Structure 1
Amino acid sequence: MRLAVIDGRASLLVDGTVVDIERASAGRFSATVDELYRDWAPFQAWAADAVASDRSEAALEPAQWGALAHAPQQIFAVGLNYVDHAAESGFNVPEHPMVFTKFASSISGPFEPLVLPTDSVDWEVELVAVVGAGGRNIAEADGFAAIAGFCIGQDYSARDVQMRGVPPQFSLGKSFTGFAPLGPVFVDTESFLQQSEITLECWIDDALVQSAPMNDMVFSVPRLVSELSAIVELRPGDVIFTGTPPGVGFGQNPPRYLRAGEVVRSAITGLGTMSQECVAP
């Protein structure tokens, strides 16, 4: 199943067409994507069997695509979850997931411009997991069952804000407007995991700056679900940024940050490509 937000409405992408979920289900399911995550099991069952008559051709403009979450109750972000990224950042690989948050007001659509609030904005392509069933004390073996599906995310970071002070703090420096684009498509967990190899990639204009397989994660998605749910209750629609591979600007010598006019493209196998044009404030 492929889910998108088109013109502000939750939609299925089926055989090159767009299916408006609320209309096709005669109002049984919401046009708001966050509500679908809270009603995930019955929605998934309906979507698998639905014969949708209300379809439109999927020749879509970038501005029509919206974020695949609007107001999650919780956003978790995981730092240093790839060995080589930890090394380039000057940190040891943690024994447990290093968790911070990105505040919900930073969420944006997959093709919205990125306003650069400082001259030290960095890129971090990430696989984002969206919680479906959720719960507490979820065993690692059951971790994927708690996840509704996946999309692409960028964990944009103003490194000057993130690193000021001792010790550094992460959340504010990663929560400016537009610092958490999500999209363009959401794929359910079962379909996503059927792929034999999943690669995360990021380009600045035409230069490939990040490329790594998902399997290079230090803490797998099921492990993250288990560790998080041992402490907090995971709730439907919660968003988990699972970490970025090496190749960020902060790790270069000298550090290299985004400039107005550049375009950041992010891609993950099976999840499409999203892009943001960097603009001056």
Structure 2
Amino acid sequence: MKLARIRTNDRVCPALIDAEGVAHDISKVTGDITAESVTPEGMAKLGALDPSDYPVISGEPAAILDDVRRIFCIGLNFSDHAAEAGMAIPEEPILFMKSCPATGANDPVILPKGSEKTDWEVELGVVIGTRAHHVEEADALSHVAGYCIVNDVSERAFQTERGGQWTKGKSCDSFAPIGPWLVSSDEVSDPQNLSMYLDVNGERKQTGSTATMIFSVAQIVSYLSRFVTLVPGDVITTGTPPGVGMGMKPQQFLKAGDVVTLGVEGLGQQRQSVVAYRA
């Protein structure tokens, strides 16, 4: 099952995506796609629907949930990305947060005021469906409702040159495009074998696979649950493969007018135009 939220002229509609990628409006069944929707009961209810029974709807995707409250992020989770960043492979998952609201897959990326080093990162997103508290790795995936694409947009100067934690370089407005779909976990046979890519202005920058993650999805969910009780609707981003602008020689960063396109196997595609900051 693929769920989405489609932005029309006057509202955001919950939708099911059919096998051809067409969105069908299911607002007569559910008012929105929420944290409750991704619980086992909610997913079972929506999974029983046939998209062809509902009207086709068009528009741009909004964030996959109406109430993404917490975005947990794992840093340096690909060995080759750690190498290009000049950082050691972590012994435990590196946790930070994105504190900005989630945005739609095709919404613009806004360059923050004073930014000179806004960067891209294609990542596999994990959506929690049941409460996870001190779960074992063997049981961790049973707490996952589904998967999505996240562009972990980052301002590298804010992140690494201004002291303190990474959060301020990760949480500027528009820095959390999530979607276009939430793909239920039963459609992803192996989250550790998904190809991923990112292009800037049609030029391939990142090519990778979740097979090269240092810590697997199951390890990440289990690990985080030791420190934070995960709840339905939480999103975890799981790290990026090499090819980010910060790691290039010379370094390359986004500028107004650029177009970023990215995808993860089976989870759809995102496309963002980069725009200048306006007060």
TM-score by length of 2: 0.91
**Of residues 90, 94, 97 in structure 1, which corresponds to 2:90?**
94
Distance 1:210 1:51, change over 3 A: closer
Give the aligned partner of residue 162 of structure 1.
159
SS in 2 for 1:134: coil
Give the aligned partner of residue 116 of structure 1.
111
SS in 2 for 1:250: helix
Deviations 1:58-117 (A, max 9, x none): 5x34xx310113433322100000000001111100010000000043x21111111111
Q: What is the CA distance between 1:18 and its match in structure 2? A: 3.1
Give the aligned partner of residue 148 of structure 2.
151
Distance 1:232 1:3, change over 3 A: same
Q: Percent identity?
A: 36
Q: What is the CA distance between 1:53 and its match in structure 2? A: 6.7
In the alignment, does 2:180 pair up with 1:184? yes
Higher helix share: 1
Give the aligned partner of residue 11 of structure 1.
15
Q: What is the CA distance between 1:231 and its match in structure 2? A: 1.3
SS in 1 for 2:35: helix
SS in 2 for 1:181: coil
Residues in 2 aligned to 1:163 and 1:43: alpha-carbon distance in whole angstroms: 40
Distance 1:137 1:271, change over 3 A: same
Distance 1:251 1:139, change over 3 A: same
Letter of the 2:209 partner, please give it: P
Residues in 1 aligned to 2:190 and 2:211: alpha-carbon distance in whole angstroms: 14
Residues in 2 aligned to 1:35 and 1:44: alpha-carbon distance in whole angstroms: 9
Distance 1:52 1:270, change over 3 A: closer
Q: Is the 8 A contact 2:146 2:183 kept in 1?
A: yes
Q: Is the 8 A contact 1:261 1:277 kept in 2?
A: yes
Q: What is the CA distance between 1:232 and its match in structure 2? A: 1.2
SS in 1 for 2:188: helix
Q: Is the 8 A contact 2:17 2:51 kept in 1?
A: no
In the alignment, does 2:64 pair up with 1:20? no
Aligned residues: 270
Deviations 1:180-234 (A, max 9, x none): 0001111111111268941110000111100111111000000000100011101
Give unmatched runs, 5+ long, in structure 1. none
SS in 1 for 2:186: helix
TM-score by length of 1: 0.90
Distance 1:104 1:278, change over 3 A: closer
